[in-house]
Structure 1
Amino acid sequence: MITFGYSSRFSGPLRALVFIALGIMLVVTKANAMELVVKVVAAFILASGLVSFILGYKKRQDGSMPLLGFNALVNIVIAVLLFLFSGPASRLISYLIGMTLFGFGLFQIIVLFSARRNFPGGWTMFILPVMVALAGAFIFFYPKVMGESIGLVAGIALMFYGLSELIASFRMSKVVESETPDEQEIDQIDEQ
């Protein structure tokens, strides 16, 4: 029997333990997840720059080295700057998210006030826009809380995923063991 995602009896529990450990690490360390995200993005940009440089070097006879080389240089410089200044970059992203949410919430409130004349609606229709505007203001004035709370939520989600993977792995191993013929069944099949 071939089962999708099941390669051995140890792969699932190993994956589960890795996710549980990552989740515990994010919850316990209270790391700023926004900085981590900025560093991961910087790593991808750096990899893109290195690939551009290698491709440009390999295709230098085609005349594409100047363009790919410049692209590689820009990517590498941006990646290094993002990696070195991940804290300010993550705060800038948080400020932008906060301003955007506040602006959208305020815009919805204004639109609902103007549309209120044309259709009846109670004050309950303002709850979500007010919450969005308040969340945006909170994120704008407390950007560090956003990064830490994202890390906490991601850590808890990773732990739940790890536990789910662990339970699914044990169930899958029982199914595979029950479907796998034992030696007596194999001998009986061979005799026929």
Structure 2
Amino acid sequence: MLAMKLFLSAVAFCAATAILFGDPSHALALATIWSDRLGLPYWRMIALLCMAASALIFATPLRTRISPVLRLPVFTILAVLLPTAIVGVYADSVRHRSVLAFGAEEVEEHSFFASIREAPAEFQFFLHTVALKNCVPYAWSYRTLSFYELRPNVAVNVLQQRSITKCGITRTERR
């Protein structure tokens, strides 16, 4: 019975993290070695509280409604889904408020959920948010919770062609 619970939990973890993060290793990396890549205040505490809330699946009223073999897999799914959803909505809110305050003429925003799936794999072709202000391209950093100026070599990969043409952005040679 324990082996079945552990197996189902592992399958649940892999499925949930593959759906949310694109790869189970990305979820583990974000929670550990990449945790400094998210500069949101208190995000780790929020994630821990959400995981603790997931443990309510073992509370007496809920325990009687869920099969014993499924409790651990349900906890695993909730322990991945709740913190990701709450922190994701929080991150999107912070980013969007900053976009409005930045006052760019053009903005292309991607949700936090798209970022956790795409950003680890496609640095030069995927940005959390790209903005054009006075024909200067900027990108959003979740690490610093601010915009930074993009080099032209990166900007030509992520901006729409009309913005590149309008602002005369060209690829520069490396020295």
Higher-Rg structure is: 1
TM-score by length of 2: 0.27
Which has more helix, going by share of residues?
1
Structure ranking higher on relative contact order (CA contacts 8 Å, 6+ apart): 1
